[in-house]
Amino acid sequence: MNVTIDTFSGFCWGVVRTIEIAEHELEESRDLYSLGDIIHNPMEIQRLGAKGLRTITVADLDKAKGGMVLIRAHGEPPSTYKRAEELGITLIDATCPVVTKVQERIRKFYLDGYQVVIFGKKEHAEVIGLIGQTGGEAVVIKSVQEIEKVRLDRKTVLFSQTTMDKPTFYQIKEELQKRIEDLVVGSFEDEAVEFHAKDTICGQVSGRDKKIREFAKSNDIVIFVAGRNSSNGKVLFHIAKEANPRTYFIEDVPELQAEWFEKVENVGITGATSTPQWLMERIKRAIEEKFVPEPAAV
């Protein structure tokens, strides 16, 4: 049995940057809070927790009064920065630069009088930060069916949560173009923003679509490793499973099942942009130790 880790899997550069910032601060001082789970992977949260990182919510922000708080890659709304300043908290801002740019774009269009529509999940941390740029007025939709929430008589700009899927984004764009005369699609092209179809989905996330399909097809089975709360993980898992129905979602070693590996020659391991490399390596070792058959006796 051959067990291979997808070379294109693992942390995106935004997550790498956030983890490096957290580890640097933890080396300087063990008194560091993360505002929400630093990433959507429980194993990595446990690892950093052992180094002293404590997780709190916005509602618990007063517990960190006078202390140091890390803003994770997802970003935060302006209200969080204001509250932190009131509490004398030192913020370590690890917001992914891609997310920061989307926030800036959204704020610009909102101040210019546009209705802001965001393709994303309303409860997702990144989207909460994006909505905050509009004073809570942005319209969030996650499917074509939810377009009915959008006012059709206003000039409108469409943006996306950075980890959503491109096909649905473009379906929504096309439907809005049929119904809204003055529609702009958010772009990173220049300060004026180009008036053409250019989404704000992270290139590192969307670029994995094709590669993960190819990887899934090239293996008999695929072990997909991610935290169950990972939005990106859910998207990539479904892409892998479409390409190879024998794709199995796990968070860690104990979820591996022996029957998955019966009469299997090639096993592929891949994961989300929030899945650490060390965890995939651990799962690879476990598969090789537990499920690779012994050579037949001569």
* pLDDT tens by residue, 251-283: 999 999 999 999 999 999 999 988 999 999 999
Residue 194: inside a domain, yes or no?
Answer: yes
Distance CA 178, CA 159 (A): 17
Tell me the residue length of the chain: 298
Are 187 and 242 contained in the same domain?
Answer: no
Residue 295, burial from CB neighbour count under 10 angstroms (0-12, 13-18, 19+): exposed
- Quote the domain boundaries for residue 216: 2-10+205-290
pLDDT for position 296: 54
CATH number of the domain bearing residue 20: 3.40.50.11270
Rg (CA), the chain: 21
Do residues 173 and 190 share a domain? yes
89 within domain boundaries: yes
Task: With a cut of 50, say whether residue 189 has pLDDT above it.
Answer: no
The CA distance from 93 to 135, in Å, is: 21
Least confident of 118-127, 133-142, 190-199: 190-199
According to DSSP, the residues that pair with 266 across neighbouring strands are: 2
Q: What was the pLDDT predicted at 133?
A: 96
Q: Is residue 297 part of a domain?
A: no
Kindly state whether residues 197 and 122 are assigned to the same domain. yes
Which of 95, 124, 158 is a domain's end point? 95
Same domain, 17 and 6: no
| 106 has pLDDT over 90 | yes
Residue 296 within a domain:
no
Q: How confident is the model at residue 295 (pLDDT cuts 50, 70, 90)?
A: low
- CB under 8 Å to 285, separation ≥6 — which residues? none
150 and 74 assigned to the same domain: no
Q: Once rounded to an integer, what is the mean pLDDT over residues 51-73?
A: 93
Which of 95, 116, 134 finishes a domain?
95
Number of domains in the chain: 3
Q: Which residue has the higher pLDDT, 26 or 297?
A: 26
- Among 45, 77, 95, identify where a domain stops: 95
Note whether 180 and 215 are same-domain residues.
Answer: no
Token couple for 190: 């220049």
Residues 90 and 102 in one domain: no
Confidence (pLDDT) at 15: 87
Residue 298, domain member (yes or no): no
192 plus 135 within the same structural domain: yes
Residues 141/117, Cβ–Cβ less than 8 Å: yes
Q: What's the pLDDT score for residue 165?
A: 79
pLDDT for the residue 39 = 87
Position 239 in a domain: yes
Does this model's pTM top 0.85? My answer is no
Catalytic positions: 126
Q: Coil, strand, or helix at residue 155?
A: coil
Q: Is residue 295 part of a domain?
A: no
**Same domain (yes/no): 148, 104:** yes
- Same structural domain, 31 and 50: yes
Same domain assignment for residues 105 and 193: yes
pLDDT in tens, 207-220: 788 899 999 999 99
Domain of 232, CATH number, reads: 3.40.1010.20
Same domain membership, residue 111 and residue 39: no
